[in-house]
Structure 1
C-alpha cells in the first residue's frame, strides 16, 4: 500500500511541464502596453514587479542596545 502511494506521488511529481511557455494555438500575446517600445515576452509577463513582491526592510535586533532618551516622554500633569 505504501509503495503504491509513493509510486503515485512520484508519477504526479514528474508530470510538470518543463517547456517554455507559449500562447495557445490561434492566440497572440497581449499588445504592448501604452508607451512601451516592444511587446513583452511570456517570461517578462511572469516577472513580479517590485511593488508586488517588496523586499524586507526590517532589521532584526541582534544585540541588546540602550534606548535613546525621548525628550517627548514627559510625566502626566
Structure 2
C-alpha cells in the first residue's frame, strides 16, 4: 500500500470528468470511476478525475476499465499491473 505525504493545507479538488467515448451510450450500464490523481512535481493539490464507461463495452475486471480509460479517454493515466 502506498503512503502519500501531503501538506496540512492540502485539499483534494474536483478534477476533469471524462464522458464515455461511445456517443450512443444510453446510460443503462454507465459506471463512473473516481481516480485519485497526484503529481508531487507539479506543486498542485491532488484531484479526483471522473471517468464514465459503458460496462457493455468493457471487460469484467477493474483492470479492463483502467486500460480502456488510458487507451480511449486519458493517455496520461498511469498505473502498474502485475496480473493477467
Could you state the TM-score of these two structures normalised by the residue count of structure 2?
0.19
Q: Which one scores higher on RCO, CA 8 angstroms, separation ≥ 6?
A: 2
**Higher-helix-fraction structure:** 1
Normalization by structure 1: what TM-score? 0.20
Structure whose CA Rg is larger: 1
